[in-house]
Amino acid sequence: MLLFTVRRVLWTVLVMFVITLLVFVIFFKTPGVDPARSLAGRNPSPQVLAEIRQQFGLDRPFPVQYLVMMKKLFITRDLVSYSNQGQRVFPEITAAAPATLSLVFGAAVIWVALAIAMGVAAAVLRGTILDPLLMIIALIGISMPVFWLGEVANLITQSKMHGTPLFSWVPPLGYTPLTQNPGLWFEGLLIPWLTLSVLYVGLYARVLRASLIEIGNEDYVRTARAKGLTEQRVLIRHTLRTSMITFVSLFGLDFGVLVGGGALLTEVVFGIHGVGYLTYQSLSNLDLPVIMATVVYGAFFIVLANTLVDVAYSWLDPRVRIS
Amino acid sequence: MGEPLLEVRDLRVSFRTDDGLVQAVNGVSFEVSEGETLGIVGESGSGKSVTMMSVMRLITDPNARFDGSVIYKGRDLMKLSKKAIREVRGAEIAMIFQDPMTSLNPVYRVGWQIAEQIRAHEPVSAHAARARAVELLSAVGIPNPEHRVEDYPHQFSGGMRQRVMIALALSCSPSLLIADEPTTALDVTIQAQILRLIKKLREETGSAIVLITHDMGVVADIADRVAVMYAGRLVEQGTKREIFYDPQHPYTWGLLGSIAHLARPRPRRLTAIPGAPPSLLALPGGCAFADRCSSRFDRCAAEFPELISRDGAADGHLDACHLTPALKRERRTAALNGDRT
């Protein structure tokens, strides 16, 4: 188990290296692009360009350029955004991360709980009208784009029905840090959580139902029944437990993508200044240092999630442990 | 012997499918006495497994329909509540399945899986259940049981896994053990070991066994009585002696004729029963075996042959064939010896 974990961590480091290298090559070495110009943002003065060339070692060999960039990203963390009056990029991301983490964690709790409830209900109620009904609801959830759903939610809770007691508690758009006001943090995030989780509830409920039904046909589930266990125990300890292997690996990846900035649309729609929002802004301003930093940040979380999934996987499935 | 332990009466199991109603089991009746071993033989799809799974009410397919009764120790299992049948499963009637590679849950330690069954039926501590699991593993001949109890199923070989399955089945000392092709997925040498183990445990525990198999050799080795199944029906039933030395039904002749004997002159080719079993979607009104039977005559297609004791056979030796005793003897000699050159 220890060896496995160590190997995974080394692997993660290697993957991160390759990703940063790729990102660097794309942003700095694309033919016909002057990296100094892209770093400087719109309409830079010659002095700024010269300063950037010197600072990023753009007149020096490729490996040095890469190392300088990595040093600025990870060690000195003093990469600045030129299009944004010399604002430091790293603090911007660390300031944005709590909002993204709050959004994604909350949504994840909701989507895992609801998806398990729906998936199990559909599998157990197979053969009744409720199973297809639940699956149609899930499909509708999957089909609704998050930006549209978010706008509709805003329309209802912020303007049309904000006057009614049902939604009068909904605070204006934006993010309140948990440390500042937990109540407001929760109220402000509830609608975004629900909006973001709808897609995943639908997706995961369908995946879980299929997996439960498939595993329900396994010989060892029949053995469990032949042992005289209660149906609940067969379902929870045998069918659901084994289904979790698929469920968890799927969850880890989606979670990593979302923490890494994948909740961009939700953040923009609800005005939550998280990493996704930052990415969105930097993309519209062509703010290369921020784009680079958010891409690397995103990649980092996806790779981290991947590693955690693998560790969880080996914990859930003893068959992969010994190999 | 008095009351039989298990009495299956006119059991019918059918499945609704897109193509129509599949009659998997079609009026099967038999008895198992205490301590007795009954072998149910038949080819794949003849309904042997479905019959025994129905006895334990293990078929969860919502499209399945069951009729008839299964009397176990005076109670009709088909009419028991879900809770009551659960108390029978594992504790009174236990089952060993065909494929030991897939019959154990891959994510739990084998000791845990055995203890789970014990604790489902008896109010014992986790510690005591685990100790029982070690004893059971030792009883089924797994070396080093104190350590092996902590292993996962994939760390065992096929034969060892089947031993674990047997330990699991015996963990609550059931009165009836149903073994569904327990040796089919194993190597021949391992098959012999497992059969020897089952015989040894039968002597120690005195439990009755219903052994489902398509292997006449296994039946010859272990069974007291034999029931031959074809297309969802029993076609012959009797003691092992009667079935092997005085078989009445042409299908049984076919099964016996297709065994390779080491002691007899080697046939050029092993005899096979021509054709394939009828579709269970549309069973013929008469004898289901008629199409493949070389001794068929007009009556076979016209009249359904009941499974009864007929002239020319011993009492309690039942068969479902219209042939006269004289014709049976004559045709049987030809069927069992004819093709040996």
Please state, in angstroms and rounded to a whole number, the distance separating the CA atoms of residues A271 and A265.
10
pLDDT at B268: 67
Is B102 a domain residue? Answer: yes
Interface contact A60, partner B, CB < 8 A: no
Looking at the structure, tell me whether residues B201 and B253 fall in a common domain: no
Residue type at position B273: I
Residues A80-118 pLDDT 10s: 877 766 778 888 888 899 999 999 999 999 999 999 999
Of A126, A218, A227, nearest to B116 by CB-CB distance is A227
pLDDT digits (tens, 9 = 90+) for A51-79: 888 888 888 888 888 888 888 888 888 88
Tell me the nearest-neighbour CA distance from A95 into chain B, angstroms. Answer: 42
In a domain, residue B236? The reply is: no
Are A220 and B103 inside 8 Å of each other by CB? yes
Nearest to B208 by CA among B37, B43, B60: B37
CB B208 within 8 A of CB B6: yes
Same domain, B10 and B136: yes
The hierarchical CATH code for the domain A98-273 is: 1.10.3720.10
Tell me how far CA of residue B194 lies from CA of B42, B106, B164, B202, B208, in angstroms.
21, 22, 11, 12, 17
Q: Are residues B151 and B287 in the same domain?
A: no
Min distance B300 CA to chain A CA atoms (Å): 39
B58 chain-A contacts, CB cut-off 8 A = 222, 225-226
pLDDT tens per residue across span B143-202? 999 999 999 999 999 999 999 999 999 999 999 999 999 988 888 888 888 999 999 999
Of B97, B117, B152, nearest to A219 by CB-CB distance is B97
Between CA B323 and CA B330, with CA B327 as vertex, the angle to 5 degrees is 140
Q: Are residues B302 and B200 in the same domain?
A: no
Residues of chain A neighbouring B129 (CB-CB closer than 8 A): none
| Alpha carbons B37 and B178: distance in angstroms, whole number | 10
The DSSP code for B172 is T
Q: Where are the domains of chain A?
A: 98-273
A244 touches chain B (CB under 8 A): no
Confirm whether B241 is domain-assigned.
no
Identify the three-state secondary structure at position B287. coil
* Residue among A222, A228, A231 minimizing CB distance to B90: A228
Query: Are residue B142 and residue B35 in the same domain, yes or no?
Result: yes
Sorted by sequence, the CB contacts under 8 Å of residue A267 that are 6+ apart come out as A99, A100, A103, A273, A274, A275, A276, A277, A280
Other Cβ atoms less than 10 A from the Cβ of B81: the count is 8
pLDDT of residue B2: 62
Q: Across the interface, do A228 and B121 touch by the CB < 8 Å criterion?
A: yes
The number of folded domains in chain B is 2
Is-contact A60 A66, C-beta < 8 A? no
pLDDT (mean) for A208-233: 94
Interchain contact, B106 vs A227, CB within 8 Å: no
pLDDT in tens, chain B (341 residues): 567 899 999 999 999 999 999 999 999 999 999 999 999 999 888 999 999 999 999 998 888 999 999 999 999 999 999 999 999 999 999 999 988 889 999 999 999 999 999 999 999 999 999 999 999 999 999 999 999 999 999 999 999 999 999 999 999 999 999 999 998 888 888 888 899 999 999 999 999 999 999 888 889 989 999 999 999 999 999 999 999 999 999 999 888 887 777 777 766 677 778 888 888 888 888 899 988 888 888 888 888 898 988 887 778 899 999 988 888 888 888 777 754 43
Return all residues near A189 (Cβ < 8 A) that are at least 6 apart.
A102, A103, A106, A175, A272
The strand pair at B6-17 and A87-88 is best described as unpaired
Q: What is the pLDDT of residue B148?
A: 95
Looking at the structure, tell me whether residues B214 and B280 fall in a common domain: no
Q: Which of A229, A231, A319 is the closest to B106 by Cβ?
A: A319
What residue numbers bound the domain in which B274 lies?
Answer: 247-337
The distance from CA A144 to its chain's CA centroid, rounded to whole angstroms, is 18
Tell if the CB–CB gap between B89 and A227 is shorter than 8 Å: yes
Sequence-distant (6+) residues with CB within 8 A of B314 are B238, B242, B246
β-pair partners for B96 = B179
Q: What is the CATH number of the domain that holds B185?
A: 3.40.50.300
Q: What percent of chain A has pLDDT over 70?
A: 98
Which chain B residue shows the shortest CA-CA distance from A244?
B107
Q: How do beta strands B308-309 and B318-319 pair?
A: antiparallel
> Are B175 and B69 in a shared domain?
yes
Any B CB within 8 A of A59 CB: no
Counting one residue from chain A and one from chain B, the pairs whose CB atoms sit within 8 A come to 76
Say yes or no: A318 contacts chain B, CB-CB below 8 A.
yes
Clarify whether residues B190 and B284 are in a common domain: no
Residue B251 lies in a domain: yes
Gap from A318 CA to chain B (nearest CA, Å): 6
| pLDDT computed for residue B78 by the predictor | 94
Enumerate the residues of chain A whose CB falls inside 8 A of the CB of residue B89.
225-228
Q: Are residues B272 and B215 in the same domain?
A: no
Set of chain B residues whose Cβ sits within 8 Å of the Cβ of A317: 106-107
Q: Which residues pair with B6 in a beta bridge?
A: B32, B72
Between helices A288-316 and A275-285, what is the axis angle to 10°? 150
B302 and B214 co-located in one domain: no
Which of B90, B95, B107 minimises the CB distance to A241? Answer: B107
Q: Does residue B127 sit within a domain?
A: yes
Please answer whether residues A216 and A225 qualify as being in contact, where contact means their C-beta atoms are separated by less than 8 angstroms.
Answer: no
Question: pTM of the predicted model, to two decimals?
Answer: 0.85
In chain A, which residues have their Cβ closer than 8 Å to the Cβ of B88? 228
Measure A230 CA to nearest chain B CA, in Å: 7
Residues of B in contact with A322 (CB under 8 A): 155
Q: By C-alpha distance, which of B232, B254, B297, B233 is closest to B243?
A: B254
Task: Give, for B309, the enclosing helix (H) or strand (E).
Answer: strand B308-309
Spell out where chain A has E strands. 80-81, 87-88
Asked if B90 and A226 come within 8 Å (Cβ–Cβ), the reply is: yes
- Residue A240 touches chain B, beta carbons under 8 Å: no
What CA–CA distance (Å, rounded) separates B315 from A104?
Answer: 76
Q: Verify that B22 and B121 share a domain, yes or no.
A: yes
Backbone dihedral region for residue A127 (phi beyond 0: left; psi -120 to 50: alpha; all else: beta): left
Q: At what angle do helices A241-257 and A89-124 cross, to 10 degrees?
A: 150
SS (H, E, C) B181-243: CCCCCCCHHHHHHHHHHHHHHHHHHCCEEEEEECCHHHHHHHCCEEEEEECCEEEEEEEHHHH
Judge if B149 and B183 occupy the same domain: yes
Strand B318-319 relative to strand B233-239: parallel, antiparallel, unpaired?
antiparallel
